[in-house]
């Protein structure tokens, strides 16, 4: 059975034509010529948070559907998720591993829909880590086909629901057709403003920091900056999360009862509130998400001050 987001049934719309210069295929060109939106330090993020949020449109219906107890003024603007426990979910049911991943996609769709409804602006999900390449070949191939299928089937929803898709990670390792699909989808949805889904594929925090350092080193080598110019702000302009105008994650959720960050957004999680849920990702639904958000709203964020 094909999956779909549950906003309402929709025909598939094909994404518009490809980018002329996909950034990850021409990193040298990108580093030297492409303008990047400036990001500030975590502290400045907190201070400018409100102003940035106003840049996105909030539909009246988004703000009216908050469950009892959840405060609009304390909502995280950016939530990150480590979607762990898909294979365990399948094994517990004597199902093949791929059923666990498929159930994981359904869970992601539910959470995206809820984010749109409750006015969360960005959701970053760890869909495939740099280390996941070492999983059995058949599993890796299945995941690649799942990413392709998932993105193709939801393309129409992204347009109709005003959702922006961004993909971060070392995409050069992905099958060519999938790279092209992702670049097209990113380009086609880049002006959508209701909600942004950031999918981390072939990604790790180490990879992100290293590629940012390489870009800065190249700029220094070309004489565009001095090594002493390098600071938090310049570094953040080169991180892959420069694809969003919004601050770094306010809240990180990891499912399946594991208490680790597992190399996800190491730089960006510096001031993020952490929440660990016992549920396996395919079981993580609205009630669990609400619990995580309510817990977040109890936290006092001090940014070391
Ligand atoms: C279209 C799109 C973005 C799809 C996302 C699909 C999805 C849910 C990917 C998660 C992949 C993954 C390696 C999860 C880790 O848990 P695990 O499966 O390794 O679970 P385990 O800890 O039980 O082994």
* Those residues with Cβ within 8 angstroms of residue 94's Cβ, 6 or more apart along the chain or in another chain: none
**What is the DSSP secondary-structure string of 253-297?**
EE-TT----TTSSTTTTTTPEEEE-SS-GGG--HHHHHHHHHHHH
Whether the per-residue pLDDT at 255 is higher than 70: the answer is yes
CA dist., res. 24 & res. 166, Å (int): 13
Looking at per-residue confidence, does 207 or 1 come out higher?
Answer: 207
Q: What's the confidence (pLDDT) of residue 65?
A: 75
Q: Residue 26 gets which letter from DSSP? A: -
Using alpha carbons only, give the angle 300, 238, 178 rounded to the nearest 5 degrees: 100
| Residue among 104, 144, 197, 255 to mutate when testing ligand 1 (max atoms within 8 A of CB) | 104
pLDDT in tens, 76-119: 999 999 999 999 999 999 999 999 999 999 999 999 999 999 99
d(CA 297, CA 191): 30
Task: Enumerate the β-bridge partners of residue 213.
Answer: none
Atom 6 of ligand 1 has which residue's CA nearest to it?
105
Confidence grade of residue 5 (pLDDT, cut at 50, 70, 90): low
Of ligand 1's atoms, which has the minimum distance to the CA of residue 128?
Answer: 13
Which member of 62, 84, 154, 208 is catalytic? 84
Does residue 58 surpass a pLDDT of 60? Answer: no
Q: What Å distances lie between residue 266 and 167, 248, 259, CA to CA?
A: 17, 11, 15
31-48 tens-digit pLDDT:
323 333 322 233 333 333
Query: Alpha-carbon distance 117 to 69, whole Å?
Result: 15
Check pocket membership of 127 for ligand 1, CB cut-off 6 A.
Answer: yes
DSSP 64: T
**Ligand 1 centroid, distance to 104 Cα (angstroms):** 7
Q: Which atom of ligand 1 is nearest to the CA of 282?
A: 8
Pick the residue with more confidence: 266 or 156? 266
Separation CA 236–CA 225 (nearest Å)? 15
Is residue 84 part of the annotated active site? The answer reads: yes
The domains located in the chain, with CATH, are: 96-295 (3.40.1180.10)
Q: What is the mean pLDDT of residues 203-216?
A: 98
Nearest-CA residue for ligand 1 atom 9 is: 127
| pLDDT the model gives residue 19 | 30
Residue 131: alpha-carbon gap to chain centroid: 18
Task: Kindly tell me if the per-residue pLDDT of 248 is higher than 90.
Answer: yes
CB 176, CB 148: distance < 8 Å: no
Whether residue 286 contacts residue 265, with contact meaning beta carbons closer than 8 Å, is answered with no
Between 195 and 11, where is the model more confident? 195
Is the pLDDT assigned to residue 217 strictly greater than 90? yes
Query: How far is ligand 1, taken at its centre, from the CA of residue 195, in Å?
Result: 22
299 CA distance to ligand 1 middle (Å): 28
- What is the tally of helices (H) and strands (E) in the chain? 10, 6
- Using the CB atoms, write b or e for 9-45: b if 16+ within 10 Å: ebeeeebeeeeeebbbeeeeeebeeeeeeebbbbeeb
Model ipTM value: 0.97
Confidence of residue 24 (pLDDT cuts 50, 70, 90): very low
pTM above 0.90, yes or no: no
pLDDT in tens, 133-153: 999 999 999 999 999 999 999
E strands along the chain, which residues? Answer: 78-82, 122-129, 163-168, 195-203, 251-254, 273-276
């Amino acid at each position: 059975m094909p999956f779909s987001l549950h906003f309402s049934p929709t025909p598939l719309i094909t994404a518009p034509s490809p980018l002329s210069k996909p950034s990850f295929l021409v990193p040298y060109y990108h580093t030297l010529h492409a303008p990047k939106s400036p990001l500030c330090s975590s502290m400045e993020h907190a201070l400018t948070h409100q102003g940035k949020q106003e840049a996105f449109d909030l539909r009246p219906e988004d703000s009216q559907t908050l469950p009892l107890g959840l405060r609009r003024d304390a909502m995280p603007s950016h939530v990150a998720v480590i979607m762990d426990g898909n294979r365990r979910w399948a094994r517990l049911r004597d199902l093949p591993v791929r059923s666990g991943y498929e159930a994981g996609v359904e869970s992601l769709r539910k959470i995206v829909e809820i984010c749109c409804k409750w006015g969360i602006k960005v959701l970053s999900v760890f869909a495939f880590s740099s280390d996941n390449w070492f999983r059995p070949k058949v599993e890796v191939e299945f995941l690649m086909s799942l990413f392709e299928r998932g993105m193709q089937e939801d393309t129409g929803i992204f347009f109709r629901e005003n959702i922006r898709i961004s993909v971060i990670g070392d995409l050069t390792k992905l099958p060519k057709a999938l790279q092209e699909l992702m670049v097209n989808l990113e380009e086609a949805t880049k002006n959508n403003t209701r909600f942004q889904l950031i999918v981390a594929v072939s990604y790790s925090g180490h990879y992100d920091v290293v590629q940012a350092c390489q870009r800065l080193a190249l700029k220094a080598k070309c004489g565009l900056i001095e090594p002493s110019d390098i600071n938090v702000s310049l570094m953040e302009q080169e991180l892959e999360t420069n694809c969003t105008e919004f601050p770094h994650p306010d809240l990180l959720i990891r499912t399946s009862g594991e208490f680790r960050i597992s190399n996800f957004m190491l730089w960006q999680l510096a001031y993020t509130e952490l929440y660990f849920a016992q549920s396996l990702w395919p079981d993580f639904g609205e009630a669990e998400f609400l619990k995580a958000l309510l817990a977040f709203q109890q936290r006092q964020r001090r940014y070391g001050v």
